[in-house]
Amino acid sequence: MSKNEDDEFKDIVKGLPSENTTQRSVFNLTLPFIAAAALLVVCVVAFGGMMVDQMQDLSSSVPQQMLINGLLSVLLGGIQAWVFRSKIRSRPLVFVAFSLMGGLIGGLVGGLMINSGLIQPVVIGIINGFLSGGISSLAQNRMMANKKYGTRWFLYNIFSWPVIFAVAWSIAWQSTNIIILAAAGIFVVIASGIGLVIFLRGSPQIEFS
């Protein structure tokens, strides 16, 4: 082997990464979700009462569900874009916009089902989460640089979002208590963060254009 070939490998460290490196990686992934949960609490405390009053004035569940679903989807899409910032080459806003699109469609369908007489928070949460996660991930797959991971991303979203939304809808269903609403929002953010960390540990090669 020539000296030049030896030089190519001089900076490579043999062996598995240290435990501290792994811990730092997990912490760096979960930190944006913790920060987002804290910000969400501040926003709910500051503006939650006003939003609850405005939503109670609405005669239809459709705008209520679209507003709630859209806000949560934008929040989760924004956090995902932040976590994927080194894996989204040039279009993070498009990534978040796809999350918003999925959230609005999910909220529209969920609201229509409530108006038709379905008063089951778990079912509504599952529908909202399934449509929001499924539609947003399908759209985001169009940005994926390595297409073979598109199925994994889609499956992760259609399984994780319905479960998370179902629990959150059960917590906050028809509640006007700011603490309960904040708790539901915190659950959505933290649970999504844990799910994303688990997903990335199994699919670290995922990358978006």
12 in any annotated domain? no
153 in any annotated domain? yes
Other C-beta atoms lying within 10 Å of the C-beta of residue 97: 16
18 in any annotated domain? no
Phi, psi of 88 (to 5 degrees): -105, 110
Contact 140, 200 (CB under 8 A): no
pLDDT in tens, 18-30: 444 344 455 666 6
Residue in this structure with the two tokens 């778990």, named with its chain if needed: 122
186 in any annotated domain? yes
pLDDT in tens, 193-208: 888 888 888 887 777 7
Residue 4 identity: N
Contact 80, 99 (CB under 8 A): yes
pTM beyond cutoff 0.85:
no
Domain that holds residue 177: 32-202
Interval 108-114 mean pLDDT: 92
Q: Is 9 helix (H, G, I), strand (E, B) or coil?
A: coil
- How many domains does the structure of the chain reveal? 1
5 in any annotated domain? no
Largest distance between two CA atoms of the chain: 77
From residue 199, how far is each of 19, 123, 196 by CA, in Å?
A: 19, 25, 5
**Residue-by-residue DSSP string for 23-90:** HHHHHHHHHHHHHHHHHHHHHHHHHHHHHHHHHHT-S-HHHHHHHHHHHHHHHHHHHHHHHTTTTB-S
And the tokens for 12? Answer: 């490579």
188 in any annotated domain? yes
Which of residues 168 and 33 earns the better pLDDT score? 168
pLDDT in tens, 41-57: 787 777 666 766 666 66
